[in-house]
Structure 1
């Protein structure tokens, strides 16, 4: 494996696995994607091996994403040099000898639970010290799931802030998962954390069912609603749902009712743009029919609503510069997550 380029000074936490896409995105065509300021080409060779290479042929610098995927690797579309998923040049058409320097920088890549994970090290010789995280809900027979990719013209931590503060649902998502704004702002909330993780639990008891919940599950009366958010540096997992009011304890991890399990992998593209890789998994309602279309379509709508808000927020922050902001009670989880990333990046710089 050729050495991956050094990140140098960066605002990103390194020596981490980051989502670079989903397994279903790797087709018979190369996929160009910028992640953490690195221009990459992602592909899966015909023999099933996924690769993440610097998107530049070492011969005359044509993007490898302009080439073709073959059985053993990716072939440059200019002079036909063939590279393995590990970045080694396998063939130079018309030339028997392959120079030792005929290599392309590669990044460790692993597929797990249909997520394409890429390792970004702090140094060129950094190797993964762990496996990428598992996400078991993609393989749980009780759930159906679907996902997508959203591109943001905003820094990735603004998206973290949004996901770690779900009080905004009552104002931003009135057509889907919102509900009474006062109920959201006054929800019982607990914030805790260990190591580089943050956990936020919010309960909204005896509340009205928002549109998505009523459409997907058939709630007609009042509900007890939960939001459980788990932050790690490379992903945020959000378990939301509801039961009929007063029927089950929200402290029971095996509780029934309507479940939505969201995976949110926010991977920086550049310092000011980001990729949002997401899936939502849901269980079938009492009728037994699939509700995945409803949940997926309305979840996708919420992300478009968030995108409008977050991109406008970023534009205004650029417009007004470093003018001070205040914190309120709902910011506790987001602020803790920012402190974790700040500590990791400061350690890298020392």
Structure 2
């Protein structure tokens, strides 16, 4: 079977010698597994219009969201047992993008194809590969996230659309000093403590790691709701940045009851997965989950923790979209850096380096 796979490099306009504005040769988070039900899922990722669907055998697929006949978005069609059917003239395409049926016509032309994308479903997440012209096929496996399969955790999540560039969300998640101001009624706590917390930042060519400890602090509302703390707490925030996503482990133990250096520490845990995937240069998708380990009435408490998380992210969304709107209004004003910007600035340098590599590939 001839399968026509699409590469991000195919979007390059050779006349203008422009290249992708996003890092390539990597897996991005495309969707939560739970999003693929009995209907097509349209999503624009890295300027690519894509339709995702799941066939009767449970396999997830991703095609260019355009019928090869008259260009109607396939996402306006229907999902059937063996593929997705165009909602205009009924052409049926399988997961490889091959047309397998044209109503009223016995012969299906060999050119009746729709470009397919390499995707991988694991850990309750759908990953999609975007490569340059030399790496159309994946060169590695997607990142793993075993927390979603760990029996000690319960998780839930959602997908947000942001009218803001994806790196502004990176900035927000790498700088948790804002919690005391933006999230006062959920996971915030003492604002001064957040701004002065002992913070350690490490980085290499691909990752940034941030470790923040706040010993002997008052538990914020979400923590008190979910865990039977006896008084003050020793609190931690550990952030791992990768270009495709961030992993954030926050939590607390009763003050003095365990070492915050202990990787197997007890207490209340919130393990967040944050897939930040560009839609365009100025918009993005935020695909998130929160895993937690409540002690009392686990299912109901986890439900409350996830809802509190949702409220927190609602607050972030208002701030970040307002921030970007104001940045557009004051384009010529330079922004000031302060001490909390170390980790976000390192993440931006990693992305800048990747974009230079994109340009090098184009020139070759």
Alpha-carbon distance in 2 for matches of 1:282, 1:321: 41
The alpha carbon displacement at 1:289 in A equals 3.9
Match status 1:19 vs 2:29? yes
Aligned to 1:3: 5
Alignment of 1:19-98 (within 5 A): 19-98=29-108
In 2, the alpha carbon distance for the partners of 1:124 and 1:154 equals: 30
Tell me how large the CA RMSD over aligned residues is: 1.2
What do residues 157-181 of structure 1 show as CA deviations (whole Å, max 9, x unaligned)? Answer: 0000000000000100001000111
Q: Contact 1:214 / 1:220 at 8 angstroms: preserved in 2?
A: no
- 2-structure distance, mates of 1:271, 1:56: 22
**SS of corresponding position for 1:176:** helix
Q: How does 1:1-350 map to 2 (within 5 A)?
A: 1-5=3-7, 6-8=10-12, 9-123=19-133, 126-285=136-295, 287=296, 289-290=298-299, 291-350=301-360
For 1:125 and 1:234, the matched residues in 2 are separated by 17
Assess if the C-alpha contact under 8 Å between 1:62 and 1:78 holds in 2: yes
Q: Tell whether the 8 Å contact from 1:67 to 1:77 is kept in structure 2 after alignment.
A: yes
d(CA) in 1 for partners of 2:153, 2:135: 40
**SS in structure 2 opposite 1:177?**
helix
Partner Cα separation in structure 1 for residue 88 and residue 134 of structure 2:
28
Tell me how far 1:305 sits from its aligned partner.
0.2
How many residue pairs get aligned? The number is 349
Alpha-carbon distance in structure 1 between the residues aligned to 2:332 and 2:250: 35
Cα deviation for residue 97 of structure 1 reads: 2.4
Q: Matches of 2:39 and 2:328 in 1, distance apart?
A: 37
Structure 2 distance, partners of 1:125, 1:85, is 21
State whether residues 25 and 135 of structure 2, in contact with CA within 8 Å, keep that contact through their aligned partners in structure 1. no
How far off is 1:139 after superposition?
0.6
Alpha carbons 2:5, 2:118 under 8 Å: kept: no
Q: Which runs of 4+ in 1 moved over 6 A?
A: none
Separation in 2, partners of 1:101, 1:345: 34
Structure 1 unaligned regions, length at least 5:
none
- Range with greater deviation from structure 2 (88-97 or 249-258): 88-97
Q: Deviations over 1:104-142 (max 9, x none)?
A: 111101100110111111228610011111111111011
Paired with 2:105 and 2:85, the residues of 1 have a C-alpha distance of 15
Q: Tell which deviates more after alignment, 7-16 or 261-270.
A: 7-16
1:113 to 1:155, Cα distance in 2 relative to 1, 3 A: same
TM-score computed with the length of structure 2 as normaliser: 0.93
